[in-house]
Structure 1
Amino acid sequence: MTTTQDYQKGLAELREIRDAIKPLQRQLEKLENDLGKLRARRDERVRTLAGYEQAKAERLATSAGVSVIDIVALAPSLGPQEPSGAPVAPEVEVTGAEDPREAQKAAQAIKESEGVLPSDLRDDQAADEAGRRQDSAPSPAAASAPSPTPTVGPAEPEKTLPSIPEGAPGDRWIYAEPNLLSTRPKFKQSVRQMAFLDAATGVLVWHGGTLTCDLGRAGVADILNAVYSTVPQDVERIYITAGDPWHRNAESHQFLRDAVAEWLNGPLPEGWQVEASRGKDRQAGHLVHPRNPVGRWQRGKEQHTEIRSVGEWFDPKGADPATVREAFIALWKALHEHWKDVVLMGSPSQTGRDLWSRTIPAKEGAQWADGYPVMSQEIRGLLHATAGQGRTELISPPRVPERVPGWYEVDRTFAYAKHTWMSGVGVPQRLSAARFAALSEKEQSNALFSPSHWQIRVTVPEGWDHVGLLPVPGGGDSPWHYPDQAGRTFTTWAGGAEVNLALRNPIQPWRIEILDGLVWQKGDPLKDWADKLKDAWRRLRAQSELHGDERQRTAAALASRAVRSILLYGIGTFAQRPQITTGSIQLSTGGDVPEIPDGSRLTGMTDTHVTWERNAGFSRNQYAHPEWSAGVWSAARAALLSGPSGAKDPATGKPAKAGALHLPAGSILAFRTDAIYSSVRPEWPYTGEPGDYLLKGAMPWEQTTPTTDAEFYILQGLGRQALEAEGL
């Protein structure tokens, strides 16, 4: 029983905590006040500079340390402008009683529309087949007629996407950065020795053996002391396979990121410090990521080390450190079949970019042997702001019934590998609305089927009752959403694959008006790289099924997932988002908050440190090709709606179609990048090839439709468990 004395002691401790919070709270309020004043000065300066004739949103964004969209919000004159003479079509959305789907409808079977060719934008066919597709497709010229203005309710607030300035100012965006080419490297990466540590059990594995360490509380100092009391100094990477030590104090923080920052900035053994700058292929400082952080330290000038999460590469799913190490060995062997100079770098994204760079043509006289040109900063900024990644959407009542007959999850296997056979190369051609309209019908079709990125005005056709087809920037928490209200008109940017899908979908063509666009020369800069990764992936999958040793089967399965990550994140590195620099500064003994670097923003605060991040804008990166990543992402989103499967259609002899538009209207419950969640079971064949749909979850009984992400993830987990139990 608690005594009065214990109670009084507790109150005294509570007052001590209160008194400790007060000075920090005052410092934080002062810092927030100072930041508010600086932001106001910055915004006023942006508005002033926007009035200059040479002002560019992208250049102002880089200098101000904010996004292009933030600049456009402050200075609308630098944002998208309607083409002169174009009719004003307000962006609207059906709401309230005017929404014909307010009354819930049961899922309806699809009827393929006659005369409209289903999308097959990824199939690498001969030119004559492409010509037949174009001849049978709806006329782009007819599709580009101005849209009628719908008379429906007010639109949701949405972010405004930037556009290319009209006329000569916009044409000046169309150039390649001088003296900046993606060229084949003439050096070999340095090999870094690795160790693998289970932070929960203390089991440590490296090339010299296995032992169990006493990690204490598994702080940074505990790990560095325990590991380097045994392993040699040339071990420069410590991969955490389980235990996530950076989450040990997570319950004390509102956000995981703050817990991670506190762990990374914890006490260090004598002689150690946060790593300073290193060579050209090395990075310095910590990466504060909520689940897969990277900590970098050094002792003296010679010893360097990283602590990383193996989750960057794959989910180990309970595999012990020895099996994880075998997975990295199997990965290296599979890649070595194609790259004799392969070196596994710290992350799959770094490894993917390095391997790709070693597929750049090197033979004298070969096309692009001198290197692939990097687009202007203006084009890269535009693609960064207007080209999203995977589709993430939760479709809730009243768009679907509150109760559904089942829950099914299908996921596209190694999906991005399916869309790397063609990409845009060189400096793009700009096709404004007037230039596009002046093209012949065949030239318009050729442009739409080329690697391209389009600013379009879209009208959802009357009677449309399926999912949305084209992305629009969201005004809330979701960065993109997909309007599906019949009659709605909106303006957005989309890749050629998605524009073609909207024009040639298997249900009903959408109305598209071309406002502006970028069209690249057809090339295959990613094909050799992706083909080699696909071969390594197939070899490892075969080993995971046929190897006689269970540990080796598990290791091969994990390695195959690592190959997937190399391609997936390798493609992401081409996007070259604005460079974000993170850092931390120790508080003084009095709790005073030190000054953070100019242009930075405060991201976290603990008892001992503050963390910050700074947007450094777009660097002169020789491997920056957002046109490639944008093209792959657009094609993958289009294929999620309609694309060829691994089986033949008995009626036509051509590849049968699969995707959300080939399921009944009202049956789609969610999208997650390459996965579709439906209330009816998709009956699509699975051959194990990239792009095929694998059934990953199934509950063939009535469910309550999820309305939140938390409810969605519960059903996702239950569906996978039910399917696994069904197979036992």
Structure 2
Amino acid sequence: MDSKAYSGGLAELRELRDEIKPRLRDLVKLRTELDKLQARRDQQIVELGAYEKAKADRIATSAGVSVIDVVALVPSLGPQGTPSAPADAPAGGLSAADELPGPQTAVQPIKEPAGAPAPDLRPAAQPAADTATDEPATDTAAEEDQDLEAAEPLIDTATTSPPATPPGVEQERTLPSIPDGAEGDRWIYAEPNLTSKRPNFKQAARQMAFLDTATGVLVWQAGTVTLDLGRASVAEILTAVYATVSADVERIYITAGDPWHRNAARHQFLKDAVSEWLNGPLPEGWRVESSRGKDRQAGHLVHPRNPVGRWQRGNDQHTEIRSVGEWFDPAGADPATVRAAFVELWKALKRHWDDVVLMGSPSQTGRDLWSRTIPAKAGAKWADGYPVMSQEIRGLLHATAGQGRTELITPPRVPERVPGWYEADRTFAYAKHTWTSGVGVPQRMTAAGFAALSEKEQANALFSPSHWQVRVTIPKEWDHVGLLPAPAPGERAWHYPYEGGRTFTTWAGGAEINQALRNPIQPWKLEILDGLVWDKGDPLKDWSNKLKDVWKSLRALAQTHGDEQQRQAARLASRAVRSILLYGIGMFAQRPRITTGSVELGTGGEVPEIPDGARLTGLTDTHATWERNGGFARDPYAHPEWAAGVWSAARAALLSGPTGTTDPATGKPARAGALHLPAGSILAFRTDAIYSSVRPDWPYSGEPGDYLLKGAMAWEQTTPTADEEFYVLQSLGRQALEAEDL
């Protein structure tokens, strides 16, 4: 670029600025007017909700919001609990028309009852219960290693009241709790006639094609061609692909090009660009898919990076356009290599599942493969299926069990300049935490019930698969990272309090409770307020072990195969196995159903009516996108207690956990994690990864759960204070380590 072009560009930029300014003013004005109207609407909902015969669903329909939104404003309109199913309940259970749109009991604010002190779990004489944190070395239950140093007694029988929120700390949101007494006890049941059973059918296989929209290269079972895709709109892709392949190709995976982002610069949010692309004009005879089968869903999924578009031609031809990024990052692989990766994945899975079918996404595939490991032999335990928890318990777990830990630690907690930047990532981490899970209907453990147990019984409860409401007091001398998640301001947001002397109330899984009580630095004080304790079982173990075996075999193939393309395909396939397990576990969480859709704008740009209970989420020049919360479905595979247990164990192991090698000094498994690095050296957490200013010296054997050094810069860095700065250092650190290894 010369100076003339630069000056011309600046002039064009000023013109754009002048065009944007008035539109921003209009937008602010519209937002102000909208806020006022929404406030009036909410006030009207509250006033109408005071009427003794008011119905949440009728108010929601009239207001154009969801029932959940109405109940949030008027909690008294929420259902007040569902008793256990009576003996004469119909055999078919609830029909789809009977499904409730949300948790059946209104959220109960956390009270401040007297808690029962948790026992000291650190003495050498540990109970013969399995640890909820670490996987045993063999199939039999193994006692946890006793490598923790002795410290002062944990129990403080004096009752402490929580101090006021520290200055400068924004008010946290309040988590729900189980109602007191008989009302809360009615939550403890399994949904009638709803269990996870082994399927008695085989999934239908779908023919797939792989398309690079940047180059036009299309690969499918019958060959390879290069297409002219124009601007790669939906219409151009469907026309070009189905002029080449037969109609039985039902999935088109985009391997590169991201055509849904072509107009991203015109939109403030990526989802709006994706929505515009999905809702673009269609070739004659095509329409958005409106039917669904056993493994087919109707309509589009508007995801900012991995969207799913579904269309049909006539009544018989159906197709999906999906991103291969759902399965793995193709890392520049061409469509032929990506297809080879899917072939290798199928062949490797076939060794363990004769009826394996690769479905549209890794989450769907993971759940289907798991369902085919459910015991089916008559008389086997759980051969009749795994019961699904009550809607109340599922709603509680949805609200109180977070996923991976994401935290950026900034000055003044750490120096503004640090001596280095290191990324240590746990390999295939979730596979490490599937050896035991809670099964059956849980036992409720109130503070009074917990206090009445012997110390051994208390320890056994804490070592069982469990989920606890606790009041936490951090030791005054604490100077390391936080150990337990607490609700942060904002929906579904979590943070990790670390300030010495601070007291807070939260929910946490048994693995994290154990970590807080027996961490290698100093135990935290916990008071049990309430809890759910499940029997131990291994519903995920067979599924996980098979996936681990597939993962290992593909990794070995990636190192030994003589053909470079096949080595790359095997590497990609091994990453797909990781996605199958990772997203398969996420499917058990069964969040409330979110339905998305779009409607075409009127000729004057006016927005037509959207479905009752839906809210507007996006607006383009041609379409309005809406979203509706459908509440919790009667899903036979809904097991949030399993997902919550794995997530809790993974977060605990991020702090301290055994590796696959032995510590020569103790003869026990060497331990690794953030608490084994100096205080003040931790810069960030990202799900399975730790970022620090000192180089972790942890052994790596390639086993699930081991820490692999993925980035390293052994020179002074400016500490990141925002996500954008963090991702720059993450990328530079990986590049530096790769150059170091060359």
* TM value normalised by structure 1: 0.88
- DSSP-derived class of the 2:192 partner: strand
Q: Secondary structure at the match of 1:541?
A: helix
- The Cα shift of 1:65 comes to 3.3
Q: Distance in 1 between matches of 2:179 and 2:700?
A: 47
| 2:143 maps to which of 101, 108, 130 | 130
Q: CA deviation at 1:124?
A: 1.9
1:355–1:67 distance in 2 versus 1, CA, 3 Å = farther
- 2:83 — aligned with what? none
Distance of 2:318 and 2:689 partners within structure 1: 40
Deviation at 1:77, TM superposition (A): 8.6
What is the CA-CA distance between 1:649 and the residue it aligns to?
A: 1.2
What residue is the counterpart of 1:64 in the other structure?
67
Q: Could you say which residue in structure 1 is the equivalent of 2:159?
A: 146
State the Cα distance separating 1:588 from its structure 2 match: 1.4
Instruction: Find the residue that maps to 1:612 and give its secondary structure.
Output: strand
> Does residue 186 of structure 2 align to residue 172 of structure 1?
yes
What is aligned with 2:367?
A: 353
2:569 matches 1:555: yes
Q: 1:241 to 1:130 in 2, by over 3 A?
A: same
Q: What letter matches 1:284 in structure 2?
A: A
Q: Is the 8 A contact 2:600 2:622 kept in 1?
A: yes
Residue type of the partner of 2:355? Answer: D
Q: CA deviation at 1:279?
A: 1.4
Aligned to 2:88: none
Note if contact 1:192-1:237 (Cα within 8 Å) is conserved in structure 2: yes
**1:437 and 2:451 equivalent?**
yes
Q: Which residue of 1 aligns with 2:738?
A: 724
CA gap of 1:421–1:85, structure 2 versus 1, over 3 A, is: closer
- Cα deviation, residue 647, structure 1: 1.5
Identify the residue that residue 109 of structure 2 maps to in structure 1: 80
Alignment of 1:528 with 2:516, yes or no, is no
Contact residue 234 and residue 303 of structure 1 kept, 8 A: yes
Partner of 2:666: 652
Name the CA shift for 1:84/1:696 in 2 (closer, same or farther; >3 Å).
closer
The answer to whether the 8 Å contact 2:416/2:718 transfers is: yes
Amino acid at match of 1:184: R
In the other structure, the counterpart of 1:612 is: 626
Q: Is the 8 A contact 1:65 1:599 kept in 2?
A: no
Q: What residue identity is the alignment partner of 2:67?
A: A
The corresponding residue for 1:486 is: 500
Aligned in 2, Cα 1:466/1:335: closer, same or farther, shift over 3 Å? same
SS of equivalent residue, structure 1 residue 233: coil
CA distance in 1, matches of 2:555, 2:411: 40
- Equivalent residues in 2 for 1:488-503, closer than 5 Å: 488-503=502-517
Aligned alpha-carbon RMSD (Å):
3.4
What one-letter code is carried by the residue in structure 2 that aligns with 1:146? T
Asked whether the 8 Å contact 1:256–1:290 carries over to 2, the reply is yes
Tell me by how many angstroms 1:153 deviates.
3.5
Which stretch has the larger CA shift, 137-146 or 349-358?
137-146
Q: How far apart are the structure 2 equivalents of 1:697 and 1:625?
A: 36
* Alignment partners' CA distance in 2, 1:136 and 1:63: 53
Matches within 5 A, 1:258-407: 258-407=272-421
Supply the distance in 2 between the matched residues of 1:484 and 1:498 (Cα, whole angstroms).
15
Query: In 2, are the aligned partners of 1:287 and 1:294 still within 8 Å (CA)?
Result: yes
Name the CA distance, whole Å, in 1 between partners of 2:680 and 2:28. Answer: 51
Asked if structure 2 preserves the Cα contact closer than 8 Å seen for 1:454 and 1:518, the reply is yes
1:711 aligns with 2:725: yes
Give the residue type in structure 2 aligned to 1:123: E
8 Å contact from structure 1 (residues 116, 138) kept in 2: no
Task: Measure the CA separation in 1 of the matches of 2:163 and 2:342.
Answer: 57
1:202 equivalent among 216, 220, 234: 216
Deviations 1:245-304 (A, max 9, x none): 000000000000000000000010000000002212210100000000000000000100
C-alpha contact 1:405 1:701 (8 A) present in aligned 2: yes
Contact 1:144-1:511 at 8 Å conserved across structures: no
Identity, in percent, stands at 71
Q: How many Å apart are 1:142 and its aligned residue?
A: 2.9
For 2:688, the equivalent position in structure 1 comes to: 674
Does structure 2 retain, via aligned residues, the 8 Å contact 1:138–1:504? Answer: no
CA gap 1:219/1:86 in 2 versus in 1, 3 angstroms: same
Q: What per-residue deviation string (whole Å, max 9, x for no partner) do you get for residues 599-654 of structure 1?
A: 11101111111000000000000000000000000000000000001211112211
Residue in structure 2 matched with residue 190 of structure 1 by the alignment: 204
Number of residues of Structure 1 aligned to a counterpart in Structure 2 = 687
2:154, 2:524 within 8 Å by CA — same for their partners in 1? no
Q: 1-side partners of 2:229 and 2:52: how far apart?
A: 55
Gaps of 5+ in 2: 6-12, 56-64, 79-104, 117-121
Distance 1:434 1:590 in 2: 65
Structure 2 equivalent of residue 457 of structure 1: 471
Q: For the Cα contact (< 8 Å) 2:132–2:649, is it kept in 1?
A: no
CA distance in 2, matches of 1:502, 1:335: 38
1:53-73 residue CA offsets vs partner (Å, 9 max, x unmatched):
xxxxxxxxx962349988779
- Residue 469 of structure 1: aligned partner: 483
Match of 1:121 among 133, 141, 154: 133
SS of the aligned residue for 2:396 comes to helix
**Structure 1, residues 298-346: CA drift from partner, whole Å, max 9, x if none?**
0000100000000000000000000000000000000000000000000
Structure 1 counterpart of 2:229, which letter? Answer: L
1:657-698 per-position Cα deviation (integer Å, ceiling 9, x unaligned): 100000000000000000000000001011111000000000
Query: Contact 1:472/1:483 (CA < 8 Å) preserved in 2?
Result: yes
SS in 1 for 2:155: helix
Q: Distance in 2 between matches of 1:11 and 1:513?
A: 61
Residues 1:510 and 1:210: Cα distance change in structure 2 (over 3 Å): same
Which has the larger displacement, 36-45 or 286-295? 36-45
Change (3 A) 1:147 1:14: closer
1:102-121 to structure 2, matched below 5 A, reads 121=133
Q: Please give the secondary structure, in 2, of the residue aligned with 1:65.
A: helix
- Cα deviation digits, residues 68-122 of structure 1 (max 9, x gap): 98877999994234255579xxxxxxxxxxxxxxxxxxxxxxxxx99899x8821
One-letter code aligned to 1:553? R
Q: 1:640 to 1:50 in 2, by over 3 A?
A: farther
**8 Å CA contact retained: 1:145, 1:513:** no
- Unaligned 5+ runs, structure 1: 3-9, 53-61, 88-112
Query: Which residue is 1:595 aligned to?
Result: 609
Q: Secondary structure of the residue that 1:696 maps to in structure 2?
A: strand
* Contact 1:374–1:624, Cα closer than 8 Å, also in 2: yes
Structure-2 residue corresponding to 1:574:
588
Aligned equivalents of 1:248, 1:182: Cα separation in 2: 42
Secondary structure, aligned partner of 1:130 = coil
Match of 1:698 among 681, 706, 712: 712
Classify the secondary structure of the residue corresponding to 1:259.
Answer: helix
Q: Which residue of 2 aligns with 1:662?
A: 676
What's the secondary structure of 1:613's corresponding residue? Answer: strand
In 1: Cα distance, 2:19 partner to 2:498 partner = 57
Aligned-pair distance for 1:166? 0.6
Contact 1:413 1:689 in 2 (8 A): yes
Report how far residue 35 of structure 1 moved: 5.3
Quote the residue 1:237 is aligned against.
251
Mapped to 2, the partners of 1:151 and 1:33 lie a distance apart of 33
